[in-house]
Amino acid sequence: MALRFKPSQRTHLLRITGLAIAGLCACLFAACGGSSSSGNTQATASDSQRAEHAEHAEHAEHAEHAEHAEHAEHAEHAEHAEHANPGAHVHHRHHSFDDPESWAQRWNNPERDTWQQPQAVLDAFGEMTGGTMADVGTGTGYFIPHIAERVGPEGRVFAIDVESSMLAYVAEHAAAEGITNVETLLATRSQTNLPTGSVDGVLIVNTWHHVEDREAYAAHLAAVLRPGGQVVIVDFTADSPIGPPAEMRLTPEAVISELSAGGFAAERVPADLPRQYIVRGVLPSP
């Protein structure tokens, strides 16, 4: 049944409807960014929210960059022997080495050759054919193939580390590459566990600054070397873009002094390495 209104009722109803439509239009106008005070207020709030979001994004980006920088720094430090080489500082962050394959992707990357220059490092020993050499802090064995080739099939190479997982990786890959003159040796943090007078040369790369009592360790190396034996230490320069914190970096003069205290005649070896220096210590011949 159709509803019927009196004229006065129709007039009142039209007035209410008109007011409702006017209010709706005002709301729509404000929502669309009109020039009313409510529209300006909403626009200002929106701008504030956008600014706040941008600030948060900027902070998040900075935090992300800081996190990446921290990870990069730890990764680089791990690369130069924070894998618990002999004498590693106990306050350093401990890394897990249950997956040597993942570390080898960094440490054994062929791109490392461009700055590590393994042949130039081994040249510091002079003639190595038929010798017995030790790579102390071998990690994933970056230097092992180079040393094994230098000493030849009549020579012998000890890959030494305190991480058994690293040594297992080195042994496996040496066998896979047909390198038969390599022997792994598990060390402690203060001893290589080499027999007295058993090697002709010791190579220590990017590790010496981790040794706590370096003079005592130098004396230990002198004991395991044969008369006339050599130790070659490679470490980062003060201005190297990678390496340990500045307070841990050693000058070549400091390394020379420490080796001298252990019984070596030590000197810096001229070398054009972009990030490192080389110091060689030689024991007196009989």
Query: Is pLDDT at 177 greater than 80 in this prediction?
Result: yes
Neighbour count for residue 195 (Cβ, 10 Å)? 9
Q: Is residue 18 part of a domain?
A: no
Q: Is residue 51 part of a domain?
A: no
- CA max distance for the chain: 131
Q: Is residue 82 part of a domain?
A: no
Q: Is residue 263 part of a domain?
A: yes
pLDDT at 99: 76
Query: Is pLDDT at 186 greater than 50 in this prediction?
Result: yes
Residue 103's pLDDT band (cuts 50, 70, 90): low
Query: Domain of 241?
Result: 100-282
* pTM assigned to the model: 0.69
Query: Is pLDDT at 267 greater than 80 in this prediction?
Result: yes
In the chain, the number of structural domains is 1
Q: Is residue 20 part of a domain?
A: no
Positions of E strands within the chain? 132-136, 156-161, 182-186, 199-205, 225-236, 265-269, 276-282
Q: Is residue 114 part of a domain?
A: yes
Q: Tokens 């003079």, residue?
A: 215
Query: Is pLDDT at 112 greater than 60 in this prediction?
Result: yes
Q: Is residue 86 part of a domain?
A: no
Indicate the range of 29-43, 105-119, 191-205, 266-280 predicted with least confidence. 29-43
Query: Is pLDDT at 244 greater than 80 in this prediction?
Result: yes
Q: Is residue 30 part of a domain?
A: no
Query: Is pLDDT at 70 greater than 60 in this prediction?
Result: no
CATH classification of the domain holding 110: 3.40.50.150
Query: Is pLDDT at 242 greater than 80 in this prediction?
Result: yes
